């Protein structure tokens, strides 16, 4: 029988006190045989689809491949970003999920990778900032909730917290994210993840900076990602009293399933938000021109210069006492 998930008072800023229905909903992470759609949604502060967001490429006059708001659309992610699941074997091997474990998937996205944990026999709760992603995860039978990764409400609830391709979106306060993970773990629990590290997508960031500078915009005002070095993130973990088992940067050139324009529209649309709508399509075309010499392969495939930061850390116990 899964143990209950105690909640702290640290809910999203919109929520000033715990809600009884939320507390009840989070009590039992479910196994594959018990899965049922979740019903609770919580405000959170990462890119989000809303009633004003386009449902597909080209909406609101943005041209092919351009998302005109700071939105996650699950269908676009499945088209342009499914490689994040296909290339997840290394981080799953680091996690080594075991049947019966209770795991929090931090930034679960559309739930495709979360299902792999469920298939092992783990009891899994997925959380994500995007309502579109949460709805897609629920449609797969995942117990998923919309939450802010900077304000996790759990207390001593999980054997492990797992995160793939999500932590780099939580740039406002990485220390708060790790502190929330620390609170969410049971004594002896582990934190395992992979996300963009120092140098990730450097060509794209450089191209975006050049294109925006030509239009009088400082890229720093709309840069959406947190790409730390090994030393920086090790320090973040250790400041929350994690023992770091290992941490490394891994170059991972990644062949895109479509093209770089679709990738920009899905993952890098924040760079475009500082520009008038009428200038965005031209800006993307200029980025593509700058990226072509370094990222377009001889066979016509685009290869993004991914660099991933992988790590495993745990809470140390001495004679059954958790080190705080």
Tally of domains in the chain: 1
How many C-beta atoms lie closer than 10 Å to residue 85's C-beta?
19
173 found inside a domain:
yes
φ, ψ at 125 (rounded to 5°): -115, 130
Helix, strand, coil share (%) of the chain residues, nearest 5: 35, 20, 40
- Is 272 a domain residue? no
Q: Tell me: the pLDDT tens digits for 72-104?
A: 454 554 544 454 455 567 899 999 999 999 999
Average pLDDT over residues 152-156: 98
3-class DSSP assignment, residue 204? helix
Q: Which residue has the higher pLDDT, 118 or 51?
A: 118
- Residue 204 belongs to some domain of the structure: no
Tell me the backbone φ, ψ of residue 115, rounded to 5 degrees. -60, -30
- Residue at 126 is within a domain: yes
84, part of any domain: yes
Angle formed at CA 157 by CA 318 and CA 249, multiple of 5 degrees? 75
DSSP state of 287: H
Kindly state whether residue 133 falls inside one of the protein's structural domains: yes
Q: Which residues span the domain enclosing 176?
A: 20-198+226-253+298-322
- The reply to whether 118 falls in a domain is yes
**How many residues make up the chain in this entry?**
324
Evaluate whether residue 71 is within a structural domain: yes
pLDDT in tens, 176-191: 999 999 999 999 999 9
Q: What is the CATH number of the domain that holds 157?
A: 3.40.50.150
**pLDDT tens sequence across 4-37:** 455 544 333 323 233 333 333 344 443 433 433 3
């Amino acid at each position: 029988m899964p143990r209950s998930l105690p909640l702290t008072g640290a809910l999203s800023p919109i929520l000033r006190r715990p809600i009884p229905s939320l507390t009840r909903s989070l009590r039992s992470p479910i196994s594959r045989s018990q899965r049922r759609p979740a019903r609770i949604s919580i405000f959170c502060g990462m890119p989000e689809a809303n009633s004003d967001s386009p449902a597909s490429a080209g909406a609101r006059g943005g041209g092919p491949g351009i998302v005109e708001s700071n939105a996650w659309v699950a269908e676009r992610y499945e088209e342009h970003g499914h490689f994040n699941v296909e290339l997840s074997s290394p981080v799953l091997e680091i996690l080594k999920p075991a049947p019966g474990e209770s795991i929090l998937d931090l930034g679960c996205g559309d739930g495709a990778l979360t299902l792999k944990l469920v298939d092992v026999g783990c009891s899994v709760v997925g959380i994500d900032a995007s309502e579109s992603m949460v709805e897609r995860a629920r449609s797969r039978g995942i117990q998923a909730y919309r939450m802010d990764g900077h304000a996790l409400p759990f207390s001593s609830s999980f054997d492990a917290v797992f995160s793939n391709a999500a932590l780099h979106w939580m740039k406002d306060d990485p220390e708060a994210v790790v502190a929330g993970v620390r609170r969410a773990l049971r004594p002896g629990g582990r934190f395992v993840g992979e996300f963009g590290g120092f140098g990730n997508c450097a060509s794209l960031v450089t191209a975006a900076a050049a294109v925006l500078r030509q239009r009088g915009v400082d890229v720093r005002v709309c840069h959406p990602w947190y790409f730390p070095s090994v030393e920086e993130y090790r320090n973040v973990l250790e400041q929350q009293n994690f023992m770091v088992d290992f941490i490394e940067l891994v170059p991972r050139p990644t062949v895109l399933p479509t093209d770089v324009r679709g990738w920009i529209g899905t993952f890098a649309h924040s760079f475009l938000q500082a520009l008038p709508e009428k200038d965005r399509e031209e800006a993307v075309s200029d980025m593509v021109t700058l990226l072509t010499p370094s990222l377009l392969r001889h066979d016509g495939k685009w290869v993004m210069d991914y660099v991933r930061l992988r790590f495993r850390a745990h809470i140390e116990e001495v004679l059954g006492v958790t080190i705080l």
